[in-house]
């Protein structure tokens, strides 16, 4: 079997190899299951594997291919561009009746689903073989993935002493460690972009409404969450968006309309098609404090974008991180508490001691709020969206470049959910506010944001930079990302993967 990690193959290449008969779906699946068995004990990125169903999917795919000639195989790949590619769902509720979820929490036990979610169905229709679940933080509340319900923290394949990020940390670690070539995540405050940055991957937080939550839900966290996959390449990122994008019936938000397939945009740019120069904002020194390694990487990122022909201009930071977080944090807390309360009613569970210490404090914080408080904070998010649109118009920029994190990936234990006070965890001295001041902007405003690998720190840890675009300009982000990848290719998997 081809060693996809050592050869740097992405999911698009793997699917093509499978359909063209370079290797079998069964061989690839056996290799992936062996990789998980060998590497997961050290990394702890995968919390559930359905090996029997994985084997069944691979065998069924091989049987299908045996009956197809060359033309039929080409047609199959056009229809199912990720045919036979093994992948994982994040352990945070994306509905699949075959794969129960713990929600990253001992309190929830195993949540089973009666119906397949619209997003899961689209992934399967595109050819993915969904074989298990990846670790998360409890209810997605941390930028690391260290829940005790998994037995051990999820570690960064680049440096085991550091976090893989969160809350989609298991997805990023599983990909970076070469267990699977691509994995699903969700981003409500940076939860795709942070682990992508920590593990040297591509992470897109899509425009609000781009990917579906139906049929069970219409939105998550007041519209702040977007779901997508963490990838090693821009063409994988774009290809998955092509198969997943679009509102499902009854959705509360309209998905933006695009004239071209995202994969075609990326392909054309990387084939040498001209990309019109853009005006890209680089934040002046009035923004949040950055560690030296991040500051240097951010300056280099600006120079690299300028060398690609873009007009990089100094702009003020749009608004203080605390202005964003004062609305983001309460909305997250209220939604998380609502999920906890609903589970308690459904199961008769009254004791909250199954929740981690910081989450128990979050429950008390949420209980102090009123319904009118919640409405005020949702309105505050919407006001931030208006203000950000005004900021883009006033500065005349097409995109805003920002670091993903203000520090290199956190050491294990630094942001575990064992703090006594939720507000201190979020707002206190050397809290999440200082570690991740940039990501929630895109969630609050609904705008798309793309995290890209942007080199290594002096400690050998990946650093990520992001580009933020106006709502509905995901295609523009992918085009610039493709241009950047072609000029500055990265190591797709961690050393030793």
Question: Would you call 101 a catalytic residue per the annotation?
Answer: no
pLDDT digits (tens, 9 = 90+) for 466-485: 999 999 999 999 999 999 99
Whether pLDDT at 286 is above 80? no
Q: Tell me: the pLDDT tens digits for 241-277?
A: 999 999 888 999 988 889 999 999 999 999 999 999 9
Question: Is pLDDT of 1 > 90?
Answer: no
In a domain, 496, yes or no: no
What is the per-residue pLDDT across 426-463, written as a single tens digit (0 to 9) for each?
A: 999 999 999 999 999 999 999 999 999 999 999 999 99
pLDDT in tens, 154-168: 999 999 999 999 999
Q: What is the pLDDT of residues 25-78, one digit of tens each?
A: 999 999 999 999 999 999 999 999 999 999 999 999 999 999 999 999 999 999
Q: Which of 134, 163, 191, 436 is catalytic?
A: 191
In a domain, 412, yes or no: yes
Number of domains forming the structure of the chain: 1
- Across the range 88-96, mean pLDDT stands at 96
Determine, yes or no, domain membership for 492: no
Tell me the residue length of the chain: 497
pLDDT number for residue 421? 98
Three-state SS annotation for the chain: CCCHHHHCCCHHHHHHHHHCCCCCHHHHHHHHHHHHHHHHHHHCCEEEECHHHHHHHHHHHHHHHHCCCHHHHHHHHHHCCCCCCEEEEECCCCCCCCCCECCCCCCCCCECCCCCCHHHHHHHHCCCEEEEEECCCHHHCCCCCCCHHHCCCCEECCEEEEECCCCCHHHHHHHHCCCCCCEEEEECCCCCHHHHHHHCCEEEECCCCCCCCCCCCCCCCCCCCEEEEEECCHHHHHHHHHHHCCCCCCCCCCCCCCCCCHHHHHHHHHCCCCCCCCEEEEECCCCCCCCHHHHHHHHHHHHHHHHCCCEEEEECCCCCHHHHHHHHHHHHHHHHHHHHHHHHHHHCCCCCCCCCHHHHHHHHHHHCCCHHHHHHHHHHHHHHHHHHHHHHHHHCCCEEEEECCCCCCCECCCCCCCCCCHHHHHHCCCCHHHHCCCCHHHHHHCCCEEEEEEEECCCCCEEEEEEECCCCCHHHHHHHHHHHHHHCCCCCCCCCC
The fraction of the chain above a pLDDT of 70, given in percent, is 100
Based on the residue annotation, tell me whether 167 is a catalytic residue of this protein: yes
- Is the whole model's pTM more than 0.95, yes or no? yes
- Report the candidate in 175, 115, 138, 134 with the shortest Cα–Cα distance to residue 48: 134
Does residue 75 belong to any structural domain of this protein? yes
Angle between helix 169-176 and helix 25-43 axes, rounded to 10 deg:
120
- Domain with 103, as residue range(s), is 4-487
243 located within any domain: yes
Structure tokens belonging to residue 472? 């509905």
Exposed / middle / buried, residue 245 (Cβ in 10 Å: 0-12, 13-18, 19+): buried
| Active-site residue, from 24, 90, 220, 233 | 90
Q: Among the options 142, 167, 168, 226, which is catalytic? A: 167
pLDDT at 350 over 90: no
Side-chain half-sphere of 9: how many Cα atoms within 13 Å? 19
pLDDT tens-digit series, residues 171-186: 999 999 999 999 999 9
* CATH code of 376's domain: 3.90.1300.10
Question: Which residues does residue 282 pair with via DSSP β-bridges, in sequence order?
Answer: 314, 401
Write out pLDDT tens, residues 294-331.
Answer: 999 999 999 999 999 999 999 999 999 999 999 999 99
Establish whether 149 is a catalytic residue.
Answer: no
What the block records as the tokens of 460 is 């050998």
pLDDT in tens, 110-127: 999 999 999 999 999 999
Is 187 inside any structural domain? yes
The rounded distance, in Å, linking the Cα atoms of 301 and 306 is 9
353 burial type by CB count under 10 A (0-12 exposed, 13-18 middle, 19+ buried):
exposed
Residue 280 lies in a domain: yes
Backbone angles phi, psi at 163, to 5 degrees: -75, 150
Task: List the end-to-end C-alpha distance of the chain, in Å, as a whole number.
Answer: 15
C-alpha count within 13 angstroms, C-beta hemisphere, residue 40 = 22
495 inside domain: no
Share of the chain above pLDDT 90, in %: 96
């Amino acid at each position: 079997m081809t060693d996809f990690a050592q050869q740097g193959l992405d999911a698009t290449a793997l699917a093509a190899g499978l359909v063209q008969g370079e290797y079998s779906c069964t061989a690839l699946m056996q290799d992936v299951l062996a990789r998980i068995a060998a590497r997961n004990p050290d990394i702890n990125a995968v919390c559930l594997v359905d090996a029997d169903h994985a084997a069944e999917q691979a065998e069924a795919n091989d049987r299908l291919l045996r009956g197809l000639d060359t033309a039929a195989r080409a047609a199959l790949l056009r229809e199912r561009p990720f045919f036979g590619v093994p992948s994982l769902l994040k352990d945070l509720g994306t509905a699949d009746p075959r794969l129960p979820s713990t929600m990253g929490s001992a309190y929830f036990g195993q949540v089973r689903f009666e119906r397949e979610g619209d997003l899961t169905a689209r992934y399967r229709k595109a050819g993915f073989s969904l074989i298990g679940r990846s670790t998360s933080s409890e209810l997605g509340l941390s930028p690391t993935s260290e829940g005790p319900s998994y037995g051990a923290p999820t570690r960064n394949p680049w440096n085991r002493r550091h976090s893989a990020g969160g809350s989609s940390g298991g997805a990023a670690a599983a990909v970076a460690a070469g267990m699977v070539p691509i994995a699903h995540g969700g981003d409500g405050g940076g939860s795709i972009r942070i682990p992508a940055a920590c593990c040297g991957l591509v992470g897109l937080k899509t425009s609000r409404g781009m990917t579906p939550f139906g049929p069970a839900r219409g939105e998550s966290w007041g519209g702040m969450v977007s779901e997508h996959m963490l990838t090693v390449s821009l063409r994988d990122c774009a290809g998955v968006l092509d198969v997943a994008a679009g509102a499902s019936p009854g959705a509360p938000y309209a998905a933006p309309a695009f004239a071209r397939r995202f994969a075609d945009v990326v392909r054309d740019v990387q084939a040498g098609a001209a990309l019109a120069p853009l005006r890209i904002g680089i934040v002046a020194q009035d923004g949040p404090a950055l560690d030296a390694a991040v500051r240097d990487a951010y300056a280099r990122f600006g120079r690299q974008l300028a060398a690609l022909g873009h007009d990089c201009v100094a702009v003020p930071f749009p608004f203080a991180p605390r202005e964003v977080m004062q609305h983001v944090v309460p909305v997250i807390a209220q939604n998380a508490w609502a999920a906890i309360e609903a589970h308690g009613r459904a199961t008769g569970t009254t004791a909250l001691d199954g929740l981690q210490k910081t989450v128990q404090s979050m429950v008390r914080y949420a209980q102090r709020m009123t319904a009118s408080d919640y409405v005020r904070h949702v309105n505050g998010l919407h006001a931030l969206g208006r203000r950000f649109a005004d900021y883009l118009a006033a500065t005349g920029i097409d995109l805003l470049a920002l670091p993903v994190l203000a520090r290199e990936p956190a050491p294990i234990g630094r942001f575990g959910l064992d703090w006594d006070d939720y507000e201190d965890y979020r707002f206190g001295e050397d809290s999440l506010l200082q570690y991740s001041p940039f990501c929630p902007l895109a969630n609050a405003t609904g705008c798309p944001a793309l995290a890209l690998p942007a080199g290594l720190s002096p400690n050998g840890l990946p650093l990520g930079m992001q580009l933020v675009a106006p709502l509905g300009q995901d295609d523009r982000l992918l085009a610039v990302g493709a241009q950047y990848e072609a000029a500055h290719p990265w190591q797709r998997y961690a050393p030793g993967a």
